[in-house]
Amino acid sequence: MTTGKPAIVLVSGGLDSATVAAIARDQGFRLHALSFDYGQRHVLELEAAKRVAAALGIVDHAIVRFDLRQFGGSALTADIAVPKDRDPAAMGVGIPITYVPARNTIFLSFALAQAEVAGAEDIFIGVNALDYSGYPDCRPEFIASFEHLANLATKAGVEGKTKLRIHAPLMALDKAAIIRRGVELGVDYGLTLSCYDPTPPNIACGGCDSCQLRRKGFREAGVADPTRYR
Amino acid sequence: MTTGKPAIVLVSGGLDSATVAAIARDQGFRLHALSFDYGQRHVLELEAAKRVAAALGIVDHAIVRFDLRQFGGSALTADIAVPKDRDPAAMGVGIPITYVPARNTIFLSFALAQAEVAGAEDIFIGVNALDYSGYPDCRPEFIASFEHLANLATKAGVEGKTKLRIHAPLMALDKAAIIRRGVELGVDYGLTLSCYDPTPPNIACGGCDSCQLRRKGFREAGVADPTRYR
């Protein structure tokens, strides 16, 4: 996997980003993975990211560390309980407490730095506007706006040499369609971890919004769910 | 200084951001300062940021740590010599090696997170399009684009409750005008540090682009330069 144009792929360790990485590889890109240790509750997520990146034959895997806990404001980074067993009908309404302020803006900003240094014109991110849990920074207009910014922010954009593209190939897919696409591409979802509140080594709670969406996705895709739930 | 609307102010320890903070305070904002320890060559910059923030009576001062050295690509974060004694006529041409990929995008992204948590609608940054050393992420179109993004990226933007504004009050000022404005507002420039290659405790090299622009600014403003040069 060392041929092709370089691309940056944000890899969280979850189902979506593993699928995105497989899609980018399938398109012939040479993958540079980027993950973040930002004070999220479970470093298990990073272990999953490493497994996913290794399985996809990436060129390199950068892990940027910073602490979003110093700002707080989210159940994922502050001492607020992760909601469990919510009515699925309530998930798409409003913005849940698991929203992390400005997270995707921060993630894409670092991807932009990595892209510029690696000479990459392409950044892949696994955001999704359907099963998206109500996060503002998962919408298509956000991604389009970041792409516009990226081309103004960088050396390449000023010199007019390259055109940075932010790819969000899952944007219009539901979870079942994402899973079907990943299975076609040979993704081993047993390596991934979606849960907001897992226990070691890789066991999902089964009740948080993310687990509920994942279970429903496998069910609707008609694919056996390899996740271990407690 | 604990009255007024909250605002986030990026404080680098340099002359420009000290002036911006004084302008924001003069406009009645309650200041939350934000600085970064990103693997820059001189942590002396952070010491200057703390002095500046303290002198301005800020509410709190967050310092976010991450390591841009893992990407490299700049004389400020990689092992590349800082250029000295360049012809001033060459400074505005091209993008110099001291450019840090995506730096202002990353900085503003964290400011956005802090703003969202602090309930602030205003972010102040000391970028400048005139004496700007050729950085793409100091241009007005970059700032406008980030403001657009900020209002799509956040909870506030989605709920339509607030309108985030990115203020870049130095954008159209030359260094002499910035210094004159700061002096009017009582900024003590002896606390600040602009040099790319300083020695402890707070001694500037005098020859890097930043020192040259600073010296010229004081000269043209007709203000005594409090900087200690080696």
The CATH number of the domain holding residue A42 is 3.40.50.620
pLDDT < 50 regions, chain B: 1, 75-76
d(CA A170, CA A125): 8
Q: What average pLDDT score do residues A86-99 get?
A: 57
Angle ∠(B167,B172,B177) on CA atoms, nearest 5: 105
Asked if residue B1 belongs to a domain, the reply is no
Asked if residue A89 belongs to a domain, the reply is yes
Tell me how far CA of residue A53 lies from CA of A19, A44, A192, in angstroms: 11, 14, 10
d(CA B1, CA B56): 8
Q: Where are the beta strands (DSSP E) in B134-218?
A: 165-167, 203-204
From A91-100, A195-204, B122-131, B215-224, the region with the lowest mean pLDDT: A91-100
How far out from the chain centre does Cα B102 lie? 14
pTM: 0.88
pLDDT of residue A230: 87
pLDDT single digits (tens) A75-85: 445 555 656 67
Q: Which domain holds residue A26?
A: 6-229
Asked if residue B213 belongs to a domain, the reply is yes
pLDDT single digits (tens) A104-154: 999 999 999 999 888 899 999 999 887 555 678 888 999 999 999 999 988
If one counts every other C-beta atom within 10 angstroms of the C-beta of residue A102, the result is 28
Asked if residue A90 belongs to a domain, the reply is yes
Asked if residue A1 belongs to a domain, the reply is no
Q: Per mean pLDDT, which of A8-17, A149-158, A208-217 is the most reliable?
A: A8-17
Cβ separation of A154 and B139 shorter than 8 Å? no
Q: What average pLDDT score do residues A47-68 get?
A: 90
From A23-37, A93-107, A178-192, B211-225, the region with the lowest mean pLDDT: A93-107
Q: Which of B36, B100, B137 to mutate to test the interface with A (most CBs of A within 10 A)?
A: B137
Q: Which of A71, A104, A121, A139 to mutate to test the interface with B (most CBs of B within 10 A)?
A: A71
**Of A7, A106, A150, which Cα lies nearest the Cα of B136?**
A150
From A112-116, A155-159, A208-212, B178-182, the region with the lowest mean pLDDT: A155-159
Domain count, chain A: 1
Cβ separation of B105 and A99 shorter than 8 Å? no
Angle ∠(A16,B147,B5) on CA atoms, nearest 5: 115
d(CA B55, CA B68): 29
